[in-house]
Structure 1
Amino acid sequence: MQDKAKTKSDKTVKDMSGMTLYFRLLGYVKPSMAYFLISVLGYILYSAMQPALAALLKHIVDVVSHGKVTESRAVIPLAILGVFLVRGLGTFLGSYGMAKVANNVVFDLRTSMFNKMVTLPSGYFNNMPSGRLLAKLTYDTEQVIDSVTQAIQVILREGLTVVGLLGYMVFINWRLSLLFLFVLPLIGAVVRYASKRFRKLSLKIQNAMGGVTDVASEAIKGHEVIKVFGGKEYEIERFYKAAQENRRSQLKMEMTKALNVPIIQFIVAISLSLLIWLALEPSISSSMSAGDFVAFIGAAGMLSRPMRQLTSVNSILQKGIAAAQSIFTFLDLESEKNTGTKAVERMQGNIEWRGLTFRYPSVDKNALTDVNLSLPAGKKLALVGRSGSGKSTLANLIPRFYDVEGESLLIDGININDYDLSSLRQNIALVNQQVVLFNGTIQENIAYGGLKGISEEDVIEAAKAANAWDFIQELEFGLKTRVGENGVLLSGGQRQRIAIARAILKNAPILILDEATSALDTESERAIQQALDKLMENRTTIAIAHRLSTIENADIIAVIDHGVIIEKGSHTELLAQNGAYAQLHNQQFNDSPGVDADAKS
């Protein structure tokens, strides 16, 4: 379902024209309209000074030709200073105003993308490499900055300058000025072809940059594995190929840009040459004064630079449009469905699976098939089975990381899809097998999210219950100790205990433990198992375990194989059946007598 939504989003955005995408991007300018108008005013002042200089040149020539130099000797220098003073003020207002607008636009885009990211279904993150997602948040938005600042800046400043100079030329001699109208279609054809190529290459560059960040992100996360398993040369080769692809696309872009600008410049030069040739025709020049002639030629000469700037901005504009396409494709993705409206402050915790069959998006094989199971409130369900059998999938459906169809999963007799998502998840605590900690303090990681306002005393009590307080006290800054990215500054057991403390602090009626004691030594495991036993009292618990010694006291044990429950019952009942559970139990205790024998006794 999510893949279909993504495909639909991709198609919708790709079907948009470049101008439609750009106007949608400019929609983010509205909150900064005051700064935008200040910028426009600044560029109007700047652009008005170009024909003013041509007019001043006309005045100087006329004054000299009529022998009235003495009368204008003081006025002309002051006029020149005034023109450049107004021009400088216009440049400041235009540049600063546009920079303010651009930074606000990028800020709004990045926050919108992050806000969208935290609402996306889990399936999206399974299919999207983290490096590529980071590239969207960083590289793509940087391209938007240039298209909003530099592109609009040039379009406004140089565009208004061209309009002003052409207007002044029409005022002096409208017949000669019409020559420029004949070259505009030719310039437009060149720009249109270049635009398509710029946009295509920009998309390639974005994908290549995503590849670069993918490889770099994986190398950073897996640096220890790379060192131990001799993966240095392999990763260097991967990064070289990704960077090479990015460089190749960049060079193609620059080549197109390098050809586009001189071609258009040459077309403009041809029109200017023809213009001057015609202007020098005696029958035409005789109708103009010396000042008019010099001013007309001067204004025509001034057109070269702004027209060159306007043509060179096309590559920047197309980069921004390509980036906007990527950004809007992301923003248009379908968020998690929250069709439920029922809000419950605290659930009882009765969970029932009724013939539940589940398949991951884009996967042909069922992850779970015809699961029928009932877990009364306050009881403990243990899920066992080989890796990949479907244990975590069954548990992950409870907080609706993935949606199920029909009436196949109920909590307290109500279809899980009828619950409001935030209300549902408020009643669930989770301890993952792969502990997730954030780059903050220990206290911030225990009292995380909705637990933020809880007192320090309650945080300490939760840490004590999780057997974490002893090692926290030994740290220099105690609860204020920073844990590093994903808790890298702590040991695996310490990270696990902080995660358990977070679940204890939430005090939710439904508890999901995915190998909650897997990273602990035997002594810590025993202490935490006691804490978990107390925590699980009067709470509905779903525990996923490979070490069977930790779940022998579960009320219900379900053995899952290839997504199907093949056995269920208590520990004693399953051993008496002498089936799959008994086989797993005997194999584990025979293989690990030193570890689990004590637990068995």
Structure 2
Amino acid sequence: MLFQRFEALIDVFKPSPDVAPPAGLLRFYAYYLRQIWPLMLAVIVVGFFAALIEVALFSFLGRLIDMTQATPSAAFFSQHSGELLWMALVALLIRPLVFGLHNLLVHQTINPGLTNLIRWQNHRYVLKQSLGFFQNDFAGRIAQRIMQTGPSLRDSAMQVVDALWHVTVYAGSALYLFAAADLRLVIPLLLWIIGYCATLWYFVPRIKDRSAAASAARSAVMGRVVDGYSNVSTLKLFAHTQVEENYTRDAMQTLLERFRLQGRTITSLDFTITCLNGLLIAGTAGLALWLWHQELISTGAIALAVGLVIRINGMAEWIMWVVNGIFENVGTVQDGMQTIVQPRLVQDRDDAEPLQVRQGGVRFEGVQFHYGKAGGVIDHLDLQVAPGEKIGLVGPSGAGKSTLVNLLLRLYDLQGGRILVDDQDVSRVTQESLRAQIGVVTQDTALLHRSIRDNLRYGRPEASEAELLEAARKARADAFIPLLDDGQGGHGLDAQVGERGVKLSGGQRQRIAIARVLLKNAPILILDEATSALDSEVEAAIQESLDSLMEGKTVIAIAHRLSTIARMDRLVVIDAGQIVETGSHAELIARGGLYARLWQHQTGGFVGVD
């Protein structure tokens, strides 16, 4: 019950603004720490008292030695019982309670709570990034940065808090206690503090820079490893294991060199601090013995001084590693920030309303788009698709067909013009509502690494089991689904499909995708090479289902296999981002233009035209 209460102090999934975290490092830290500031304050206060108790015990050790020397043994307990009981209470009750409270706050509250709060908020923000964001980076590296930024930020923040109080309380208390015994005892400690600060001032910036460089190199290695694993089939097909090894080895060599450079800096820092600590111990012990020899301090003061500087010596070694850990974690946070704080390129307007589709008409007006290139991929394109009309987009590779449907889905923002659905500008409606009204079957169908059932329900989460089976039957997927076995106990609809659906054939993935869109039943349908992964026999078998799927919908279909879209109401031929021809199949063949040439190339000039 006690654990649960502390574990519930941070609400990881609490509502939070859906905005980019600040770009500056300190503001990035403050953005998350501010959300749990009462708990951070509690840790600081409890840490202060924990460090104070440790110093008090050292002080009592010196006091105890003086009491034993100054008091006859027979009267020792009667004269000092009150002080002894108080210190026993501190050691047996107060110290465990304070340290226990500190551990509960750190291990039950902040470590799991803050870590996963950062991960959750970063994931929510990154998940809504534009398509281009994910196309410009490795999925594995993005995920790694999301997962590592949380614990690295937490660890560095907690290490700073712990180091702050240990340095302040130990050094401050030692100076006070030494001065109380004899002011001259302060001299070695003051000199040590100056030397210690100068050492950190020299080494810390170098550790910071080299830790950041090592973190960046580690991220590069991760990117290359993920790239190789993600494309392992290509690697094996081209027999390029050695090439891949060399590609990764280059990045690992860079990482190794940067870690070695970081290690040299840490070793130099360690050696310098160790020398300073030796001087502190020898200087304090020698000076204390000389003062005792001159009868200026007591034996207890020697024990206090030597014991405390040995404790400070251990603390200094610990702080050195903490400083290294802090900047290694800061380097990881900085690396993660490169991904996390990027602004979203495609965002809903503040006044965006849900799209209301009444008929399903689509209109492209003066559309301009160029992917940030100098030349226009699509330049001042105008196209109107009437409600319920079924058009086919035709043209050579790179003509802009898939780009056009991506713009309709608002996966990218236009550089000029506008796109309307039932007279509603797609840039002024919410992205979620827009895409909810459009069903899409693409050429490169990637399934989620989940069960067949979960993949189908992506089309309509509330669909019943009977509706799932009916969609699978219409997509001609009912024949193979019952035979699926993932080798981990999943069968049929419960079988896992593997990453991106790798356990299924291309045709099977395509049929699952078609079944998913059948379930979605959106009024606007986009078929982007929807049957490209199917052989002619299977394509013919599900053509009836596709006809059923298209019934009553506005359809935009893209296909290089022209026979699959020849029956559309209208064909629109695009070349270099411009509409060059439009009309029915027969009209375009008779015109003898680009479409006729494409058709002739596919049929070899021998297949007759109806």
TM-score, normalised via structure 1 length: 0.88
What is the correspondence of 1:191-590 to structure 2 with a 5 Å cutoff?
191-282=200-291, 286-335=295-344, 336-339=346-349, 341-361=352-372, 363-448=373-458, 451-475=460-484, 477-590=491-604
* In the alignment, structure 1 residue 26 sits paired with structure 2 residue 33: yes
- The Cα offsets for residues 306-363 of structure 1, whole Å up to 9 and x where unpaired, read as 12212321111112222222334433322231015232343422111122110113x2
Aligned 8 A contact 2:354 2:430 in 1: yes
Q: For 1:419 and 1:461, how far apart are their aligned partners in 2?
A: 33
CA spacing shift, 1:194–1:22, aligned 2, 3 Å: farther
Moved more, 509-518 or 397-406: 397-406
Q: Per-residue deviation at 1:454? A: 1.9
Q: For 1:515 and 1:587, how far apart are their aligned partners in 2?
A: 18
CA spacing shift, 1:178–1:463, aligned 2, 3 Å: same
* Equivalent residue, structure 2, for 1:98: 106
* Equivalent residue, structure 1, for 2:9: none
User: Helix, strand or coil for the counterpart of 2:353?
Assistant: coil
- The Cα offsets for residues 213-265 of structure 1, whole Å up to 9 and x where unpaired, read as 22222222222221221110001111212222222222222221111133134
* Equivalent residue, structure 2, for 1:144: 153
Give the AA of the match of 1:397: L
Q: Per-residue deviation at 1:69? A: 6.6
Q: For 1:507 and 1:343, how far apart are their aligned partners in 2?
A: 18
CA spacing shift, 1:365–1:99, aligned 2, 3 Å: farther
* Equivalent residue, structure 2, for 1:5: none
Aligned 8 A contact 1:447 1:454 in 2: yes
Structure 1 residues without counterparts, runs of 5 or longer: 1-8
* Equivalent residue, structure 2, for 1:59: 64
What is the correspondence of 1:7-18 to structure 2 with a 5 Å cutoff?
13=23, 16=24
Moved more, 289-298 or 312-321: 289-298
Q: Per-residue deviation at 1:441? A: 1.4
Q: For 2:435 and 2:61, how far apart are their aligned partners in 1?
A: 73
Q: For 1:69 and 1:391, how far apart are their aligned partners in 2?
A: 101
Q: For 2:68 and 2:316, how far apart are their aligned partners in 1?
A: 31
CA spacing shift, 1:368–1:69, aligned 2, 3 Å: farther
User: Helix, strand or coil for the counterpart of 1:470?
Assistant: coil
Aligned 8 A contact 1:39 1:94 in 2: no
CA spacing shift, 1:501–1:452, aligned 2, 3 Å: same
CA spacing shift, 1:173–1:19, aligned 2, 3 Å: farther
CA spacing shift, 1:231–1:43, aligned 2, 3 Å: farther
TM-score, normalised via structure 2 length: 0.86
Q: For 2:193 and 2:304, how far apart are their aligned partners in 1?
A: 23
Q: For 2:552 and 2:370, how far apart are their aligned partners in 1?
A: 32
Give the AA of the match of 1:333: Q
Q: Per-residue deviation at 1:546? A: 0.5
Aligned 8 A contact 2:145 2:336 in 1: yes
* In the alignment, structure 1 residue 133 sits paired with structure 2 residue 138: no
Structure 2 residues without counterparts, runs of 5 or longer: 1-19, 486-490
CA spacing shift, 1:159–1:330, aligned 2, 3 Å: farther
Q: For 1:544 and 1:95, how far apart are their aligned partners in 2?
A: 61
Aligned 8 A contact 1:380 1:542 in 2: yes
Give the AA of the match of 1:365: G
**Matched positions, count:** 580
* Structure 1 vs Structure 2 CA RMSD: 3.1
Q: For 2:252 and 2:149, how far apart are their aligned partners in 1?
A: 17
CA spacing shift, 1:287–1:583, aligned 2, 3 Å: same
Q: Per-residue deviation at 1:503? A: 0.9
Q: Per-residue deviation at 1:43? A: 6.5
Q: Per-residue deviation at 1:302? A: 2.5
* Equivalent residue, structure 2, for 1:48: 53
Aligned 8 A contact 1:36 1:97 in 2: no
Aligned 8 A contact 2:138 2:226 in 1: no
Give the AA of the match of 1:97: L
* In the alignment, structure 1 residue 172 sits paired with structure 2 residue 172: no
Q: Per-residue deviation at 1:164? A: 3.9
Q: Per-residue deviation at 1:370? A: 2.0
User: Helix, strand or coil for the counterpart of 1:303?
Assistant: helix
Aligned 8 A contact 2:447 2:501 in 1: yes
* Equivalent residue, structure 1, for 2:42: 37
What is the correspondence of 1:175-190 to structure 2 with a 5 Å cutoff?
176-177=185-186, 180-190=189-199
Aligned 8 A contact 1:513 1:544 in 2: yes
Q: For 1:547 and 1:29, how far apart are their aligned partners in 2?
A: 58
User: Helix, strand or coil for the counterpart of 1:206?
Assistant: helix
Aligned 8 A contact 1:39 1:98 in 2: no
Q: For 2:32 and 2:286, how far apart are their aligned partners in 1?
A: 44
CA spacing shift, 1:174–1:557, aligned 2, 3 Å: farther
CA spacing shift, 1:388–1:284, aligned 2, 3 Å: farther
Aligned 8 A contact 1:46 1:88 in 2: no
CA spacing shift, 1:35–1:183, aligned 2, 3 Å: closer
Q: Per-residue deviation at 1:381? A: 1.8
- The Cα offsets for residues 549-599 of structure 1, whole Å up to 9 and x where unpaired, read as 1001112212222222222221111111101100100110128x7xxx69x
- The Cα offsets for residues 423-460 of structure 1, whole Å up to 9 and x where unpaired, read as 211211111211121111111101117x2122122222
Q: Per-residue deviation at 1:121? A: 1.0
Q: For 1:446 and 1:193, how far apart are their aligned partners in 2?
A: 60
Q: For 1:555 and 1:178, how far apart are their aligned partners in 2?
A: 94
